[in-house]
Amino acid sequence: MGYHRWLDGNHRFRFQRTLFDGTEEFREAPQQTQGPNRVVKRYSAFIINGFRFHTKYCERLRRT
């Protein structure tokens, strides 16, 4: 199958042709789901634009 469409443009698997059957996909990848996970009740940290932020509860346990 042509799973190239599910990978980012610069993903290393895109260049390993043996993993695919040779068909090319020109459609865009489906939109990823967004928003909080409804199963998780509490987060200790979160990542925004590649930066990790810890909650105040998690930070109060740290010693510097």
| Mean pLDDT, rounded, of the chain | 72
pLDDT of the residue at 1: 45
Instruction: Find out whether 4 and 14 touch, Cβ atoms under 8 Å.
Output: yes
What digits encode the pLDDT tens for the residues 46-64? 888 888 888 888 778 777 6
Instruction: Find out whether 34 and 56 touch, Cβ atoms under 8 Å.
Output: no
pTM, two decimals, is 0.32
**Weakly modelled stretches of the chain, pLDDT under 50:** 1
Query: Cα angle at 49 between 45 and 51, to 5 degrees?
Result: 45
